């Protein structure tokens, strides 16, 4: 029997017989690992342990100790939900039921459910878990699979025609009387689902398209242990209190009124003050790393988007309009505009790299059902950067970008993970170009000694990318900054420079964003800090609380001194008691309060109170101001004057 080689996570190659499955590979590594195998990953994709491997595959073995085990567990919990639902409502139709970062969901139709029905379904799920049914993979021919759903379930037929169009053998998973079309993977039996909870019901559209059928989506979660579930539910309640939509209203940061249209936020003065600070932080880094700012219009003729490839790949998500019989489109990305600016000049190899930056507003026509506060909007601003470089400059430039991203995420105390995202199914460019681009980014990551995951098929349509996913104070993961390598757009726009040999050469285009988008990053910061922004970000940094009107003159002199150092200061001059003024400032999450009464005016001092309810009297205003400047400029996370 001929041998093939697979690549293990540490980069070593392992020879195995042709036709081996992931579990076979695990047994080759060791009998204990083979026995413990639950699933595996091939080229970054989580798959069933019985999936065959091919020569050159990068593989990982998943056990119950792996990070991915919970995804497998939750996928099985989705099947347990579906089985319980059909026992109670045999007229229900199932569509899809994947795992998610927080649990799972199943989209269903042909049955009316409300929140009150979830308890009964949970009880039936518990019965199925207690019965500990084996979860077994079985396969059918395409004709047999189609026959199961023909005239019964058009959604499953649609899956067969799209996702499994080229598969001659179709996989199903069975547990007792329940069977579902599914690629897996799953745990061995229903009894391995230790703890679960159905969370809520919402609506969705089939395949996310609002032109399609409206479905009922049941959300749930599952864990290995009850204690983990309890911790999750407590954190979920905390997340409700930190919800950026709730805090955005309470702190007067932003609004999305119906009159503006869905997904089109309005930023109030408090919110814009924070965004301004984020912009200035980015500008300082861009200046340090040699970027020049440019500006592109919001609207372009669609000829540009056809040239760049965005029209073919994004037309369904673009806002298009007709002007004098010409088609125009609101820009979904900034990069074609930057490529056009580059193309207006002649370049020598000595000019490289050329670095452009723009805080550019872009527009994506997301489905209305997907819009949610600032997390997904129609109009958002990317802190965009594009580098035009010679091929030998790629590693240096990508390293610099990764240093910039690291500085951003460390400043906000956000832990992060890194992943290499490779060619998606819908892409432009030759195989050779993609292989070259992926190898370049992989080399950068390997040379940096940075741990990273492989996200097969998650690259941009024009090139692979390095993605940074960060974790907030509640342990939730968010997509954030990115670095993308692009050999395609320079080809499409015929970008050239004159090399040392006096011949034309093609530059490489590197896309990067330090925040990802201001809207998404702002949303995360609101919830990460629970509205208690660091001093340098806080929309109101100091509030002066005069005990009576007699101290207003002194309060204004203090305010002027603070504003001379560019602090954002307000005076609470309403006829309230001091206690009420303090409570209001605490509610507004103001970092510092300066309390002034007769004693402070006479001594020329202040009483300083912070939002942690710590207080110090008889403070010299100049001493307070000096330390306040240091705290702001060092971008400390919490008020530190009273430490």
User: Do 111 and 47 lie in a common domain?
Assistant: no
Q: Which residues contact 349 (CB under 8 A, 6 or more apart)?
A: 390, 497, 498, 499, 500, 505
pLDDT at position 302? 93
User: Do 46 and 191 lie in a common domain?
Assistant: no
Residue 269 lies in a domain: no
Residue 570 lies in a domain: yes
CATH, residue 596: 3.40.50.800
User: Do 370 and 338 lie in a common domain?
Assistant: yes
User: Do 391 and 302 lie in a common domain?
Assistant: yes
Cα first-last separation, the chain: 71
pLDDT at position 595? 97
User: Do 140 and 30 lie in a common domain?
Assistant: no
User: Do 497 and 604 lie in a common domain?
Assistant: no
User: Do 378 and 476 lie in a common domain?
Assistant: yes
CATH, residue 206: 3.30.980.10
Residues forming a β-bridge with 17: 3
- Residues 423, 428, 432, 436: is their CA dihedral positive or negative? negative
Tell me whether strands 45-48 and 39-42 are parallel, antiparallel or unpaired.
antiparallel
pLDDT at position 444? 87
Tell me whether strands 104-109 and 93-94 are parallel, antiparallel or unpaired.
antiparallel
3-state per-residue secondary structure call for 104-157? EEEEEECCCCCHHHHHHHHHHHHHHHHHCCECEEEEEEHHHHHHHHCCCCHHHH
- Residues 589, 592, 598, 601: is their CA dihedral positive or negative? negative
CATH, residue 504: 3.30.930.10
Domain of 556 in residue numbering reads as 542-633
Give the helix ranges, DSSP H, for 173-317: 226-242, 244-250, 269-288, 302-308, 310-314
User: Which contiguous run of DSSP H or E holds residue 199?
Assistant: strand 195-205
Residues 320 and 302: beta-carbon distance below 8 Å = yes
pLDDT at position 456? 82
Residue 31 exposure: Cα atoms within 13 Å on the Cβ side: 0
Phi, psi of 491 (to 5 degrees): -70, -45
Q: Which residues contact 81 (CB under 8 A, 6 or more apart)?
A: 97, 104, 106, 121, 125, 198, 218, 220
Number of domains in the chain: 4
Residue 254 lies in a domain: no
Residue 246 lies in a domain: no
User: Do 387 and 406 lie in a common domain?
Assistant: yes
- Residues 305, 306, 312, 315: is their CA dihedral positive or negative? positive
User: Do 354 and 445 lie in a common domain?
Assistant: yes
User: Which parts of the chain sit beneath pLDDT 70?
Assistant: 1, 164-165, 369
Instruction: Give the whole-angstrom CA distance, residue 52 versus residue 85.
Output: 33
Reported residue count of the chain is 643
Give per-residue pLDDT as tens, 623-640.
999 999 999 999 988 888
User: Do 76 and 54 lie in a common domain?
Assistant: no
Using left for φ > 0, alpha for ψ between -120 and 50, and beta otherwise, residue 413 falls in left
CATH, residue 41: 3.10.20.30
Instruction: Give the whole-angstrom CA distance, residue 273 versus residue 271.
Output: 5
Q: Which residues contact 422 (CB under 8 A, 6 or more apart)?
A: 43, 44, 438, 454, 455, 456, 457, 458, 459, 464
Annotated binding site for Zn(2+): 335, 386, 511
């Amino acid at each position: 029997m001929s041998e093939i080689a697979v690549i293990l996570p540490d980069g070593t190659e392992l020879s195995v017989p042709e036709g081996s499955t992931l579990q076979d590979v695990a047994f080759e590594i060791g009998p204990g690992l083979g026995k413990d195998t639950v699933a595996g990953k091939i080229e970054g994709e989580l798959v069933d342990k019985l999936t065959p491997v091919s020569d050159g595959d990068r593989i990982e073995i998943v056990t119950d100790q792996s990070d991915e085990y919970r995804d497998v567990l939750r996928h099985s919990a989705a099947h347990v939900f579906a089985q319980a639902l059909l026992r109670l409502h045999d007229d229900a139709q199932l569509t899809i039921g994947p795992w998610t970062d927080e649990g799972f969901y199943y989209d269903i139709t042909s049955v009316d459910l409300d929140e009150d029905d979830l308890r009964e379904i949970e009880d039936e799920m518990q019965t199925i878990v207690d019965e500990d049914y084996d979860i077994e993979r079985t396969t059918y021919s395409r004709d047999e699979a189609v026959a199961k759903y023909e005239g019964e379930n058009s959604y499953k037929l649609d899956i067969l025609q799209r996702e499994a169009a080229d598969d001659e053998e179709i996989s199903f998973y069975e547990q007792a009387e329940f069977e579902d079309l599914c690629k897996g993977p799953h745990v061995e039996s229903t009894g391995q689902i230790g703890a679960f909870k159905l969370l809520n019901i919402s609506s969705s559209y089939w395949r996310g398209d609002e032109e399609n059928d409206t479905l009922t989506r049941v959300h749930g979660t599952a864990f290995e242990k009850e204690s983990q579930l309890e911790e999750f539910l407590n954190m979920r309640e905390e997340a409700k209190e930190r919800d950026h939509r709730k805090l955005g209203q309470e702190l007067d940061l932003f609004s999305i009124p119906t009159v503006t249209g869905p997904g089109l936020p309005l930023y109030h003065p408090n919110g814009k003050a924070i965004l301004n600070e984020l912009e200035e932080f980015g500008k300082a880094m861009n200046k340090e790393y040699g970027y020049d700012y440019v500006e592109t219009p919001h609207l372009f003729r669609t000829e540009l988007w056809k040239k760049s490839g965005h029209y073919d790949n994004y037309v369904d998500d673009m806002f298009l309009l007709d002007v004098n019989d010409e088609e125009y489109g609101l820009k979904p990305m900034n990069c074609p505009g930057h490529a056009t600016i580059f193309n207006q000049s002649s370049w020598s190899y000595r000019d490289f790299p050329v670095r452009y930056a723009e805080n550019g507003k872009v527009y994506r026509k997301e489905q209305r059902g997907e819009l949610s506060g600032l997390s997904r909007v129609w109009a958002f601003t990317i802190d965009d950067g594009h580098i035009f470089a010679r091929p030998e400059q790629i590693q240096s430039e990508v390293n610099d970008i990764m240093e910039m991203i690291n500085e951003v995420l460390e400043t906000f105390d956000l832990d992060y993970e890194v992943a290499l995202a490779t060619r998606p199914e819908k892409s432009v460019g030759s195989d050779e170009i993609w292989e070259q681009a992926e190898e370049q980014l992989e080399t950068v990551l390997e040379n940096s000694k940075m741990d990273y995951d492989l996200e097969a098929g998650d690259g941009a349509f024009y090139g692979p990318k390095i993605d940074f996913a960060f974790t907030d104070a509640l342990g939730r993961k968010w997509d954030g900054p990115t670095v993308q390598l692009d050999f395609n757009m320079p080809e499409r726009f015929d970008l050239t420079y004159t090399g040392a040999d006096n011949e034309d050469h093609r530059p490489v285009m590197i896309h990067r964003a330090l925040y990802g988008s201001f809207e998404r990053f702002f949303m995360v910061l609101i919830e990460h800090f629970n509205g208690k922004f660091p001093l340098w970000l806080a929309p109101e940094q100091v509030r002066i609380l005069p005990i009576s009107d007699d101290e207003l003159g002194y309060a204004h002199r203090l305010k002027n001194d603070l504003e001379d150092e560019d602090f954002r200061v307000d005076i609470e001059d309403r006829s309230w008691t001091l206690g009420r003024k303090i409570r209001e400032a605490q509610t507004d999450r103001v970092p510092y309060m300066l309390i002034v009464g007769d004693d402070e005016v006479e001594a020329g001092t202040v009483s300083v109170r912070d939002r942690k309810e710590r207080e110090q009297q008889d403070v010299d205003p100049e001493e307070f101001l000096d330390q306040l400047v240091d705290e702001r400029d060092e971008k400390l996370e919490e008020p530190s004057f009273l430490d």
